[in-house]
Structures are given as structure tokens and as C-alpha cells.
Amino acid sequence: MRHILSNHRANLSTIATWAMFSRGLEPEFSHAVQRQVASLKGPATESDEAVQNLTGWLWCSIDNDDSRDLDQLTVIEPLHQGKIRVHVAIADVDALVKKGTPIDEHARQNTTSVYTSALIFPMLPERLCTDLTSLNQDEDRLAVVVEMAFSEDGVLLESSIYRARVRNKAQLAYDAVSAWLVGEGDLPEPARRVKGMQVQLRLQDELAQKLRVLRRAEGSLEFETFQPKALFDGDRITDIQQQPHNRARQLIEEFMIATNRSTARFLATHGRASLRRVVRSPERWLRIVQVAQEYGVTLPNEPDGQALEAFLANQHKRDPLRFPDLSLVIVKLMGSGEYVVERPGHVPIGHFGLAVHDYMHSTAPNRRFPDLITQRLIKSVLNNAKPAYAHAELADLASHCTAQEDAAQKVERQVRKSEAALLLHSHVGERFSGLVTGLGDHGVWVRILQPPAEGRLTGPLPELRVGQAVTVKLVFTSVERGFIDFVLVH
């Protein structure tokens, strides 16, 4: 136990690796993958006249502080009569990672990068996803560009897709950009160095907020899920903090949703099958209605995204402290997202949470295999070639990607539980303020507020309700299993 407590990072890495194995994910790259990586001379280059040279534009990336696998860049330009055009450049991973190669087979097996605090398991080898296929600052890279024109009110008017060479002029981070946008910080230094970048960011933010308003008016659901992140000092965890969904994250989220919808329509317009990301209309809608009734709100008996969004927005305003727990309840009742094959001419299933019929994943091919599949399908159209994947192959991949994404999320949750157990181990016997987050056959669950961590209530319990404020005492932790046990303090 002393070793566990002295080197948190090493112990969490071991737990994460074991969790990968146990969930059917490959934590390491094979020798064949390593040989292929070693044979790569550098970033992909092409002399095709269809590849436009857009390296002079004011492209920028906005991502996490520690992100090195940069998948997309954005740039915006005002048009006449208040219209505005956005360009989203997506890293052309397919230009270097060809279908059926050892690197592609590894990516196909895991289907996603898995992010834990102590160790990242990238879908692609680091030399690719953080260098050769990453849209790094001051480097020329091939990209697939989605161009979208919007009205002054934020309504999409038209879109197109083409290939280009791009160059990231400013690598920016969410928190710093958000602080500047809301007047709580200076313009980040990488943006200050580029003439015109300040105007770029303001215009992008203004459009993103218009898009956000339109989506919510159409019934797109606004959640605030529990997303704790461990902070380290060397190899020891020093704190766990909730990650805020700030203004810059909203900016990128809106542009990525618009891009994903445009790519879905592009493939449908060209009569091609696609791998869509869907969230079906909730089968447990009546249970959602019951949850709303507990808050004094009456929802329709048939699924209604606009009514549900109005309820969520009101609850977020009334009780922001408990809103993440309400969000989690609704997300579970809605059911998880999945990948399906959409064929031309068929009625689309759609994405209930986003209140859209046409949606797919396309903007993160360094991190998600479905996005790389989409990229290959798009390039098949651009090259007037047959589809990169047959219908039967797409159907198999849809099921596989859904299963592996679920496995990856379970790995990340397991490590987060172990992080919290490590941080709290030395606080056994102490009291904490918390909220009841779950009541079920497997026990009663409580989330303490500082640090943000969830555990089980043990011992004799009175009748409790979800959302109830309680005081608890920590009595037990298990780092290896991610267990945290509390007892109720009366």
C-alpha cells in the first residue's frame, strides 16, 4: 500500500492498462504498427491541383491545455448583407494512414483514443496523432475543409467540402480563450502574435452563440455532466476539479455540430451510405416525465425535445448545484448514442439530444475511427471513386464502434474512481457535505462537493431522495477497485 500511495501516476497507469485489457481494448501497438510508423518519412504531401493552398489564412485551433492531437482548425470571414462564412479544416489522416495497413487495423480494433489522467492510449501512434497527422502550429498539413455559409441570424444557407493545405497560425486553449471572451483575462499570447486573430475569435464566438440559441430553440438538450479531472504535482494527485463547460468550449462545440451535419448531408446528397451517430427517441420517456413531475413540471406523454429542454434550462437556472445530477439521470433514461448505417432515401433515425435528423462524427479522425471512416467516404466522393466501405462492412463497423466506445468510457470511469479513492485515502474519518445522486438495488450513492467525487452510502439509512443534501463520513477506500464508502452523519 505504501508504494500505491507514493506513486499515484504509476499505480493509476497499471489500473488503466488492466482495465483496457479487461474491456477488449489493446493498450499497446504491435511490432507491425511500430515498423510502419518507422517507415514514414514525414507528413503527407500531394501535388494534386484539386488540393487548394489555404496556408495563408488565419487558421487557429482551440483545444484542451494539454492536447497534442489537434484534429481541426477554424477560420471565419464576413460576407455582404451580414452573412458570414466559416471554414473548418479537419486533419487528413487518411492521407497517411491507408485502409488495411497495420496502423489502420489497430485503430479499427480500439476505434477511439482512451484518455486517463495517468496514461493516454492513443488510437494512432503518437508520432502520427501528435505530429505527422496533427494540425500543429506553424506546420503545413493536408486537410479536408468543410465550408459553411450562414445568414446574419445563424441559419445555414449552403455548404461544400474540398481538400486543402492549411497552416495553424495560433494553437489556443479553451480556458484562456474563454476567460478573454468573457472579459476575465487577456487575449492569449499565441493570438496576440497574429494580426487579425482577435477579430477572428470575436466573430467566431458571436456566430457560435447564435447557433447555440437556434439549436436550443429547436429542442437541442443542454446538459452539464459530472466531469472531474485529476490534478498532479509530479506523480502525486493533489486535487480533483470539475471541468467547466465554458464559452470557448461552446464555440468549438457549435462549429463541430454544424460541420458534422454538413458532412452527413454531403454524403446523402451524393447518394452514399454513411456511418451516422444517433440517439433514438427515448423508449423510457414516461420515466423522464415522472422525473419532471418530481420537480413540479408536467411534460407531454410523447417525446418532446423542446419541452424537455425548457425543463432542463429552468432547472439549471434554479438549482445549478444539483443540475449535473439531474443531467445524469436524464442522460441515462435517454439511452446512449450509437453508430448506425444510413442509406440514401431511407428515413433517418436522427439524434434526439441534438434535435437533428442528420448527424455523424467527422471532425476528430486522429481520435475516433468513425471519423476516419467518414473521411474516407467523403474522399471517395471527391475523387469520383467507389465507396471506401461496402454496406455490409459499414454495418459491422457500426456495431463494433458502438461496443468499443462503450468499453473505452468504462475504462475512463474506472480510472476516475481510482483517482478519487487515491486522493481521499488519507481523509478516512473526515466529514464531507454531499448530495444523494442515486437510489437503486445496488445501493445509495452520494456525491461529495469538495473534492468532487462519488461513493456509496453504507450502514442503516433512513428514507432518502435523489438531490437531498447530506453530511457523510468517509469510512473506506479501495484504490484498485475504485471503491469509496461513506456513512451518513445524523
Lowest mean pLDDT among 24-33, 129-138, 183-192, 320-329: 320-329
Say whether pLDDT at 80 is over 50.
yes
Q: Which residue has the higher pLDDT, 2 or 346?
A: 346
Q: How far is CA 342 from CA 277, 331, 359, 417, in A?
A: 10, 24, 10, 37
DSSP state letter for 131: I
How high is the pLDDT of residue 384?
95
Q: How far is CA 264 from CA 88, 144, 146, 342, in A?
A: 15, 14, 11, 9
Q: How far is CA 34 from CA 29, 101, 299, 489, in A?
A: 7, 12, 55, 55
Q: Find the largest Cα–Cα distance for the chain.
A: 74
How high is the pLDDT of residue 226?
66
Domain with CATH 2.40.50.140 in the chain: 428-488
pLDDT band at 316 (very low <50, low <70, confident <90, very high): confident
b (16+ CB within 10 A) / e for 391-429: eeebbebbeebbebbebbeebeebbbbbbbbbbbbeeee
Lowest mean pLDDT among 28-32, 164-168, 333-337, 485-489: 333-337
How high is the pLDDT of residue 1?
44
Q: What is the C-alpha separation between 33 and 43, in angstroms, rounded?
A: 17
pLDDT tens digits along 198-227: 999 999 999 999 999 998 888 877 776 667
How high is the pLDDT of residue 2?
45
Contact 135, 124 (CB under 8 A): no
Q: How many CB atoms lie within 10 A of CB 471?
A: 14
How high is the pLDDT of residue 87?
98
Sign of the torsion formed by the C-alpha atoms of 43, 49, 50 and 52: positive
User: Phi and psi of 210, rounded to 5°?
Assistant: -65, -45
Say whether pLDDT at 5 is over 60.
no
Amino acid (one-letter) located at 67: S
Alpha helices in 153-235 (DSSP H): 174-181, 189-192, 197-217
Q: Which residue has the higher pLDDT, 222 or 153?
A: 153
pLDDT tens digits along 273-300: 999 998 888 878 888 898 899 889 999 9
Q: Domain 428-488 in CATH: superfamily?
A: Nucleic acid-binding proteins (2.40.50.140)
pLDDT tens digits along 422-460: 999 999 999 999 888 888 777 899 989 888 899 999 988
Say whether pLDDT at 92 is over 90.
yes
Helices 247-269 and 369-382: angle between axes, nearest 10 degrees:
50
pLDDT tens digits along 367-419: 999 999 999 999 999 999 999 999 999 999 999 999 999 999 999 999 999 99
Say whether pLDDT at 328 is over 90.
no
| Across 2-8, average pLDDT | 61
Q: What is the C-alpha separation between 364 and 141, in angstroms, rounded?
A: 15
Q: Which residue has the cell 495497413?
A: 101
Q: Which residue has the higher pLDDT, 390 or 326?
A: 390
Contact 344, 273 (CB under 8 A): yes
How high is the pLDDT of residue 53?
97
Set of cell numbers at residue 325: 445530477
Say whether pLDDT at 343 is over 60.
yes
Q: What is the C-alpha separation between 437 and 325, in angstroms, rounded?
A: 6
pTM: 0.91
Q: What is the C-alpha separation between 388 and 392, in angstroms, rounded?
A: 12
